[in-house]
Amino acid sequence: MSIIVPNTRIYNPNEKFPFEYTQRYGIDRRHWSTQGLICFWLMNASAGNIITDLSGNGKTGTLQGTAPSWRVGQLGSAVDLPGTNEYISFASAIPEIAAGNDFSLSFWFIADTVAAQQQIFANTITAAVSRTTLSLVNDGEIKAGVFTGGATWGDSRASSTALSAGVLYNFVYTYAGVSGSTGKAYLNGVLQSGTDTPFTDSVTGLSIGRRNGNDLFLNAGLEIFSAYNRVLTQSEIVSLFREPLIMFKDPNRMLLGGFEAAAPPTGIPILRRRREGC
């Protein structure tokens, strides 16, 4: 016989999800935050040179360069890129992240300097037609864009808030390539109003932490990087900012009506389900 024994706790929307659940349970594929997930790099290995793609799609990365290492981050371990010749390489570009497609990119990072030209992400399908890049420039601005051929940027966005060194940020870029080639940029869940073109990247491939042409190395700590084949809504972006590891849900943390789908307001008790056999 099974019975349901409800326990209560008060949910705090500012609570970061317990990091040990990422090791204990893995990604819950039923959760809304995994819909359309094509890459998820949780950079918490703490050792070695492999960056595992937890989405299950096999986009494994490899740390390259003289002194890439690991450090303590604010969400767990973090990849430490010191900005000399260190970066994360991949076997091939991601075809979904391209002009003509819908996609979203999200990453958590702490810049060690904002006074240098740096490339955060470069995904080039074909040099003349489709490139997607994220750049951090020397005035503390993040730029994101999709290059669509010739001298044309199909879309370009920029943070309207200047970043500071030593601060953890979440930056999200969404691109609606199917319905009009429009993009949006969010910093810590807030829609940004800036428009500016990032650095170009004409060499095919995928890199995190440099331009594919082997320059503009990033000096930062990277904690989480994810990609979706759909445009995340602002409410989803805010939820992921509030709980960046929300897809690693504790199986015991369930509502009686089913798996928890979104964060309830402050002060609402959550019922846990616990099964006891006899």
Report pLDDT digits (tens) over 81-104. Answer: 999 999 999 999 999 998 889 999
pLDDT in tens, 201-244: 778 889 999 988 888 999 999 999 999 999 999 999 999 999 88
Banded pLDDT at 253 (limits 50, 70, 90): low
Angle at 66 between CA 62 and CA 69, to 5 degrees: 60
Banded pLDDT at 10 (limits 50, 70, 90): very low
Angle at 190 between CA 187 and CA 191, to 5 degrees: 95
Contacts of 101 (CB under 8 A, 6+ apart): 175, 177, 178, 229
Residue 137: pLDDT above 90?
no
Percent of the chain with pLDDT strictly greater than 70: 79
Give me the chain's average pLDDT, please.
81
Lowest-confidence pick of 46-60, 134-148, 220-234: 134-148
pLDDT (0 to 100) of residue 278: 45
Please count the residues of the chain: 278
Question: What CA–CA distances, in Å, run from 107 to 104, 148, 173, 251?
Answer: 10, 23, 9, 26
Contact between 66 and 84 (Cβ < 8 Å): yes
Percent of the chain with pLDDT strictly greater than 90: 49
Average pLDDT of the segment spanning 182-189:
94
Banded pLDDT at 19 (limits 50, 70, 90): low
> What b/e readout covers 113-147, taking b as 16+ CB neighbours within 10 angstroms?
ebeeebbbbbbbbeeeebbbbbbbbeebbbbbbbb
| CATH T-level topology, domain 38-229 | Jelly Rolls (2.60.120)
pLDDT (0 to 100) of residue 273: 41
Long-range contacts of 32-35 (CB under 8 A, 24+ apart): 32/236, 32/261, 32/262, 33/236, 33/239, 33/240, 33/246, 33/247, 34/247, 35/228, 35/230
Instruction: Give the domain ranges of the chain.
Output: 1-35+242-278, 38-229
